[in-house]
Structure formats: structure tokens, C-alpha cells
């Protein structure tokens, strides 16, 4: 595994050489790895693949089996692919958590990082890519067998120039004195991380970043108390969960939502017509009254009393009759229609309109409109809780707490009999006995 990956002189991807780590991609759910070696054969359900057919091909090539039409893709190893295929000596840090750790620890090329709890080496490989080519990762594992296997694996993956692995219980012995004040970031994956906080503070530079990976909230609480006692600031705990969504175009039957034209609308038109007729009738009466006034004025000028009396009689004839008991229910003018007609017609007309409206509504409900929309649905499975990530920043020079820089055990330290060098990428609980097996 080379960071950055090797390239040919023309910039194209390099070919596979003997001894290279190769990711063998079979299907989405079946991915493996092999080390290219002439004479070896990689066997899978898709056939037997001779390494002679793989060596010399560019990474990303499709290789066919000699005995069948099955094929695989040979891919360039990356930390993400390596995390899928490596042998789990412990539970590993998942890709989403690794991304958050690298980001919040402010890692960059040239950074010096201390890690306690190497485990299967998943996080170590990702950190190595981030700080390459001039950075350095010092990782510590308390289990001797895991430390030996991890050292051999880093050398075979060509990461020995960046990663140094040592078997050491950091909670008891602390970090080596040669590393005091050199670390830009410290990562702890231990059953009792609060026991190593003081040792981490001694090895960190001022204003450096700290991260603890704990599956239980009780571990988080005790770690935060130890960080506060030593003067760490910007303490925060986060939890990352991955939920994948699939965008897809879906055809949906949507009911017809059209404006209803029925009794209310027809009644509105009838009332509008009635108001217009009433306005026209009032205008006609005003015109007749004006004509009568003109006639009366002419009669006065002529001095004829009879003419004046005739004009008055005509005016009285045109005046509306007094309201009587039988005429109180009649309308003022014929042109305006009855009150029932202005409000929406007769009972028979209203019934027909309501029946027609119900038929239209039933037709709309029975004939929906097909609409194609872009929807996003989540996959049925979601990765649940893995662990809590606690981040903090070391105090600057002169602002450390009373216990700052001391290698003594903080006051919140837990039972001394509990093993402290968990060495797992992801702890499976507060019990360290299971992690030491």
C-alpha cells in the first residue's frame, strides 16, 4: 500500500508487481485480498485465478478464470477496501467513524499521532494515508500476539516507514519518554481511557487534539471528568450513525383536485344577475322622476293650476303602493326576480345541481391522475450504535490544571485490577477481559 499510490511515468496507474497487496473484488458483498506471487492461485466460487495472470496487469483490470467464464476485478488497495477485507483480530472502527476521527483530530501530512489500542489496524492504516508521506504514527498494543501480527502486516503492506507498533500497556507505563511533548494528536481505544488521559497530556503539544473511542456512556463520563481536571477544553462527545437513502422515480396515482362548479357557483351568478337588475331598475325610476319634475316646472311657468294638479296626480300614480298584508311578500320589481331565485333557483333546480355536483365528484375520485415523482427511501437496515467519540483540546502552556503533565493516575481512575490496554478498534463493552482474549 503506497501513499500516494505509485504511478507510471505517463501518469497512468501502475501495474501489479510481485508482492503487491491486491484487492480481489468479486461481488458487492464478496471482496477478498491476496498478495501477488508467481505460482500461487486465488480460489473463489467464480473459479481459480492464477497469479501469473494477475501480475503485470494494471490495477482495476478484469481477470478471467482459466477453468470457467467467471471473472474478478483486481483493485488498488485503499484504507476503505482494506477495512472490508482484513482479518479481524478485534472489532474494527467503521469507515464513518474513521472519517470523523481524521477530521476532528485535524490530521494532515506531517502530523505526529499517538494511538493506544491498535487492534486490527483499520484506523492505523487510514491515519497513515492522511499523514503520509512525512508524518509518523506511533501505535501501542498491550496484547503481544496482536502486536506481532500487526507489525508483520504493516511491513508487508509497505507502511513501516510511517507506522511504528510497540507492545505496551499505556494505562500503566504511559507513553515513552522520548515522545513527551511531540504529539499533534492522541487517539485512545481502551476499556479505561481515563487512566491514560494524564499520560496523553504529557505527550501532547500545547493546543493539540485528543480523541477517545468508548462504547459505553459511563466510560465517556469518567473520561470527561479526567479531561476537565487536567485543563482540557472544547470537550464534546458525538455519535455517528449511517443511514443510506436510495433516490428513485415512483409513479403515484393522485386524485383530481379541480375547482368544484356546483350550487355555490351558480348561486353566485344568480345573485350577481339580481344585483344588476336591481341597479337597472333603480336607474329607470330616477329617470322617470326627473321627467316628472321637468313637467311640473313647465306647468308652473304657464300659470295653469289644472296642469300643476295633473302633474301631481301623475307623480302619485307612479309612486309605489303602500305595503299591505298580502303584498308584503312580493318583490319591488318584476325584473329582479324572487328572493329564492336570486339565491340559487328553485328547490327543484338546487336538487338537480347538487345531484350533478355529486356525480362530478364521484367521477373525479374514480379517475385519478398518474404522476411521476422523485422519492428517496432509506434502506431497511441501518448501522446502529458503535461507540461514542469524545474530542478535546489540550491546554496551552501555563494553563494546565493541577494534574497537567503528570503521569499519576487521575482521581476518577477506576479499579486498578482492571486490565487497561484494550487494544481493540471498537470496544464491545466496559469489560476488558473479553478484549484481552
Q: Please identify, among 30, 61, 77, the residue that sits at the C-terminal boundary of a domain.
A: 77
CA 160 to mean position of chain CA atoms:
37
Q: Does 186 lie in the same domain as 52?
A: no
Domain CATH code at residue 187: 3.40.50.150
| Cβ partners under 8 Å of residue 247, min gap 6 | 374, 375, 376
Residue 374 within any structural domain of the chain: no
Q: pLDDT tens track of the chain, all 437 residues?
A: 666 566 655 656 688 999 999 999 999 889 999 999 999 999 988 899 999 999 999 999 999 998 878 999 999 999 999 999 999 998 889 888 999 999 999 999 999 999 999 999 999 999 999 999 999 999 999 999 999 999 999 999 999 999 999 999 999 999 999 999 999 999 999 999 999 999 999 999 999 999 999 999 999 999 999 999 999 999 999 998 877 888 888 888 877 665 555 444 444 444 555 555 555 555 555 566 556 555 555 544 544 444 444 444 444 444 445 444 444 444 444 444 554 455 555 677 777 777 777 777 666 555 677 888 888 877 765 566 788 999 999 998 756 554 444 434 444 444 333 444 444 443 443 333 334 33
Do 179 and 232 share a domain, yes or no?
A: yes
In-domain check, residue 308? no
Number of domains observed in the structure of the chain = 2
CATH of the domain at 44: 3.10.330.20
The whole-angstrom separation of Cα 121 and Cα 123 is 6
130 and 230 fall within a common domain: yes
Q: Kindly give, in sequence order, each residue whose CB lies less than 8 Å from that of residue 173, ignoring residues fewer than 6 positions away.
A: none
Domain that holds residue 37: 21-77
185 and 47 in a single domain? The answer is no
CA distance linking residue 234 with residue 78, whole number of Å = 32
Q: Are 246 and 379 in contact (CB under 8 A)?
A: yes
Amino acid at each position: 500500500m503506497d501513499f500516494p499510490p505509485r504511478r507510471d511515468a505517463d501518469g497512468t496507474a501502475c501495474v501489479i508487481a510481485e508482492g503487491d497487496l491486491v484487492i480481489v473484488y468479486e461481488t458487492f458483498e464478496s471482496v477478498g485480498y491476496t498478495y501477488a506471487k508467481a505460482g500461487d492461485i486465488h480460489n473463489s466460487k467464480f473459479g481459480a485465478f492464477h497469479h501469473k495472470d494477475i501480475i503485470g496487469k494494471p490495477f482495476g483490470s478484469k481477470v478471467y478464470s482459466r477453468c470457467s467464464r467467471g471473472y474478478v476485478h483486481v483493485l488498488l488497495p485503499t484504507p476503505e477496501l482494506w477495512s472490508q477485507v482484513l482479518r479481524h483480530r478485534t472489532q474494527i472502527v467503521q469507515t464513518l467513524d474513521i472519517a470523523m476521527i481524521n477530521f476532528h483530530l485535524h490530521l494532515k501530512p506531517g502530523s505526529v499521532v499517538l494511538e493506544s489500542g491498535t487492534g486490527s489496524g483499520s484506523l492505523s492504516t487510514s491515519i497513515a494515508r492522511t499523514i503520509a508521506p512525512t508524518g509518523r504514527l506511533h501505535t501501542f498494543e498491550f496484547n503481544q500476539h496482536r502486536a506481532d501480527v500487526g507489525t508483520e502486516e504493516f511491513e508487508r503492506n509497505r507502511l513501516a516507514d510511517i507506522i511504528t507498533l510497540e507492545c505496551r500497556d499505556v494505562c500503566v507505563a504511559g507513553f515513552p519518554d522520548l515522545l513527551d511533548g511531540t504529539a499533534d494528536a492522541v487517539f485512545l481505544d481502551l476499556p479505561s481511557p481515563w487512566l491514560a488521559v494524564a499520560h496523553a497530556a504529557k505527550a501532547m503539544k500545547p493546543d493539540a487534539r485528543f480523541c477517545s473511542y468508548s462504547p459505553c456512556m459511563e466510560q465517556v463520563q469518567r473520561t470527561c471528568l479526567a479531561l476537565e481536571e487536567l485543563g482540557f477544553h472544547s470537550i464534546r462527545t458525538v455519535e455517528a450513525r449511517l443511514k443510506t437513502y436510495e433516490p428513485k422515480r415512483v409513479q403515484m396515482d393522485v386524485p383530481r383536485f379541480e375547482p368544484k362548479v356546483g350550487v355555490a357557483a351558480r348561486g353566485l351568478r344568480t345573485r350577481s344577475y339580481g344585483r344588476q337588475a336591481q341597479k337597472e331598475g333603480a336607474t329607470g325610476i330616477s329617470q322617470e322622476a326627473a321627467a316628472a319634475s321637468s313637467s311640473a316646472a313647465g306647468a308652473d311657468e304657464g300659470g295653469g293650476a289644472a296642469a300643476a294638479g295633473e302633474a301631481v296626480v301623475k307623480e302619485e300614480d307612479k309612486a309605489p303602493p303602500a305595503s299591505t298584508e298580502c303584498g308584503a311578500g312580493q318583490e319591488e320589481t318584476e325584473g329582479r326576480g324572487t328572493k329564492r331565485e336570486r339565491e340559487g333557483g328553485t328547490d327543484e333546480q338546487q336538487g338537480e345541481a347538487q345531484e350533478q355536483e355529486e356525480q362530478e365528484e364521484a367521477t373525479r375520485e374514480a379517475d385519478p391522475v398518474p404522476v411521476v415523482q422523485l422519492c428517496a427511501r432509506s434502506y431497511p437496515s441501518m448501522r446502529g450504535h458503535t461507540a461514542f467519540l469524545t474530542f478535546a483540546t489540550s491546554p496551552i502552556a501555563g494553563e494546565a490544571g493541577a494534574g497537567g503533565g503528570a503521569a499519576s493516575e487521575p482521581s476518577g481512575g477506576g479499579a486498578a485490577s482492571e486490565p487497561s490496554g484494550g487494544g481493540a478498534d471498537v470496544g464491545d463493552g466496559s469489560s476488558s477481559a473479553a478484549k484481552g482474549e
